[in-house]
Amino acid sequence: MTSTALNDAERVAQRIALMLHQAENAATTGEAEMYSTRAEELLLKYELDRASVFQTLADAQTALRAEKIIKSELNFTGIYAAALTSMTCTIVEALGSVRVIEVIPSTKTKKRLWFIGFEADVRGAALLATSLVIRCQLALERWWKDVHAAALTPMQKFKERREFICAFGDGATLRIERARLAKLVTAGPSTALVLRDRRGAVNEFMSQFDLETNRVGGWLVGSGDATSAGHAAGLVSNTHDTGVNGGRRAIEGVR
C-alpha cells in the first residue's frame, strides 16, 4: 500500500499497528511504555480498538491483492518528444511503484510510453506526468523571455529549450525522491516493504510481454544557464497537486 493506495482510515490503522509493533519489540521497558502509550492515545483519539485496527489492515491487504495491474499509454510528438520522454521516464520511475517503458518503433519526433503498475498508482503517475509537462512548459516560457535568443542559431535555440526540459525533470525527480524518503521514514519499514512488493508484482507482470524497448540516449546539451534554470524550476514544481486547469499546449510554441 503506497500513499496513493491508502485511505485515511488505513493510514491511521497503519500508524497504530506500527506503534504496537515497536512496543512489542522495544529494547527497554521505558521504550515499550512510550510506544504503547502513543498507540493507546491514537486508539482513543480515533475511537478504535486493537481488533478494528488489524481488521482494517487485513481488509486493505485483501483489496490490494484484488487490485489489477494495468498498462496505460502516453504519447509525445514534436521536436521535443525525446526530451519530454526522458523527463517523464525519470519522474515516473522515481515514484517507485510504476514502471515506464518507451516502446519502439519510435522516432525522434514520435514517442510512445507505457505506464505499467497497479491501477491507482498508474492513474496518479499519469496525472502527475501530464501536470509536470504543463508546468515545465510554463516555466520554460517564463525563462525564455529573459534569454537573448536573437543571437542564437535555430539549433542553439533548440538545444537550450531541450536542456531546460531535461533539467526540469531532474529537479522535479529530486523533489519527488526527497518527499518519498521522508514518507518512508515517517511511516516506517512496513510501508517500504509493501512498496517493494508492489514493485515486484509489477516486474513480474511485465515479464509476460516480449517488449522491445528503447531508452533515450545522450545528446549535446545546451548552456549551463539552461541547466540551472530548468533544474531550479523543477525543484520548486508542485509534484503533489496533479490538478491542472486549461488545455495541454505544445512546448514547440515557445519561440
* pLDDT tens series, the chain, 255 aa: 333 445 677 778 877 877 777 777 777 888 888 888 888 888 888 888 888 877 777 776 666 566 788 888 999 999 999 999 999 999 988 888 888 888 877 788 999 898 988 888 888 888 889 999 999 999 999 999 988 788 889 999 999 999 999 999 999 999 888 887 776 656 555 556 566 677 777 777 777 666 544 444 444 445 678 888 888 888 887 765 433 333 344 454 444
Q: Specify whether 100 is located in the same domain as 194.
A: yes
Q: Specify whether 40 is located in the same domain as 132.
A: no
CA-wise closest residue to 89 among 79, 97, 78, 99: 99
pTM, entire model? 0.63
Alpha helices in 46-118 (DSSP H): 50-66, 81-95
What is the pLDDT at residue 93? 87
Q: Specify whether 78 is located in the same domain as 98.
A: yes
What is the pLDDT at residue 47? 84
Q: Specify whether 200 is located in the same domain as 122.
A: yes
Residue at 1 is within a domain: no
Residue at 16 is within a domain: yes
What does the alpha-carbon distance between residue 40 and residue 177 come to, in Å, rounded to a whole number? 33
Q: CB neighbours (10 Å) of residue 136?
A: 27
What is the pLDDT at residue 184? 63
CA-wise closest residue to 93 among 131, 129, 133, 136: 129
Angle at 116 between CA 233 and CA 122, to 5 degrees: 55
What does the alpha-carbon distance between residue 29 and residue 203 come to, in Å, rounded to a whole number? 42
Q: Specify whether 233 is located in the same domain as 163.
A: yes
Q: Specify whether 182 is located in the same domain as 97.
A: yes
Residue at 98 is within a domain: yes
Number of folded domains in the chain?
2
Which phi and psi angles does 113 have, rounded to 5°?
-115, 145
Q: Specify whether 78 is located in the same domain as 28.
A: no
Q: Specify whether 91 is located in the same domain as 165.
A: yes
Which phi and psi angles does 50 have, rounded to 5°?
-65, -35
Q: Specify whether 88 is located in the same domain as 45.
A: no
Residue at 41 is within a domain: yes
Give the residue numbers spanning the domain of 80.
70-253
Q: Specify whether 204 is located in the same domain as 240.
A: yes
Q: Specify whether 61 is located in the same domain as 15.
A: yes
